[in-house]
Amino acid sequence: MSIHAANGQHPYRRKANPDDPPVERPPVGPHGPRPGPNYLGLEGRIAIVQGQVFILAVIVIAQLWLVTTALYELLSGRPGTLGWLVLASAVGFVLALVVFFWPRRRIEES
């Protein structure tokens, strides 16, 4: 047992995503929890995360296509287009970072 558990306090629990808002348990009636969510949180959080997942999935697919094309061009003996493929891949990587960090910064500002 930890020191906190011995004192009657709850030990610190790690969160899977520290940016998630706190969630309250649903109200409890005489027959158990009442139906319906009673969540405290940011409006539109689910839409933001779904948008991020969709955009990042498209970027990952494009990155896989770029790597496959670059490997084909390299093995075919035509390294002239590799520079453009590397540039396109770098732009995709930067775009993925922007998609990941931009909503978090906007949420923290508000």
For residue 110, pLDDT beyond 60: no
The better pLDDT of the pair 30, 110 is held by 30
Domain ranges in the chain are 3-109
Structure confidence at residue 39 (pLDDT): 47
The better pLDDT of the pair 94, 37 is held by 94
At 39-74, the pLDDT tens digits run: 445 567 777 788 889 999 999 999 999 999 999 999
At 27-38, the pLDDT tens digits run: 777 877 766 654
For residue 13, pLDDT beyond 90: no
Give the CA distances from residue 36 to residues 14, 25, 27, 31, in Å, rounded to whole numbers and listed in that order: 26, 11, 9, 14
Structure confidence at residue 9 (pLDDT): 57
User: Which H or E run contains 56?
Assistant: helix 45-75
